[in-house]
């Protein structure tokens, strides 16, 4: 049962948040072979003073639209599987 936490600034529409959660689940389902309906996603919308990140770390730049996704996957995945997940996620 992978668990995804998504953090972003407040202000996005319910449709945007749903699409974000849907895409994270689809990427997990396709790349990590997560079963159908094994969907656990929590979205944290934060005020700017509650969400601190370096706008230029590892190449940046990061805007106010930066989204942080943390996955607790349960069992380890090999590097090719993780890479497939990341590629699918950004599609």
pLDDT tens sequence across 60-82: 899 999 999 999 988 889 999 99
Contact 69, 2 (CB under 8 A): no
Contact 4, 24 (CB under 8 A): yes
Q: Which pTM value belongs to this model?
A: 0.87
Segments of the chain scoring below 50 in pLDDT: none
SS3 content of the chain, % helix, strand, coil (to 5): 40, 20, 40
Nearest CA to 38 out of 46, 29, 47, 50 is that of 29
Q: How far apart are CA 2 and CA 10, in angstroms?
A: 24
């Amino acid at each position: 049962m992978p668990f995804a936490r998504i953090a972003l600034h407040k202000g996005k529409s319910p449709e945007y948040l749903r699409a974000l959660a849907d895409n994270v689940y689809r990427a997990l389902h396709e790349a990590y072979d997560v079963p159908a309906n094994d969907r656990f996603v929590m979205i944290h919308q934060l005020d700017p003073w509650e969400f601190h990140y370096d706008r230029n770390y590892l190449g940046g730049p990061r805007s106010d639209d930066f989204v942080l996704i943390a996955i607790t996957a349960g069992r380890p995945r090999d590097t090719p599987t993780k890479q497939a997940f990341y590629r699918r996620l950004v599609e």
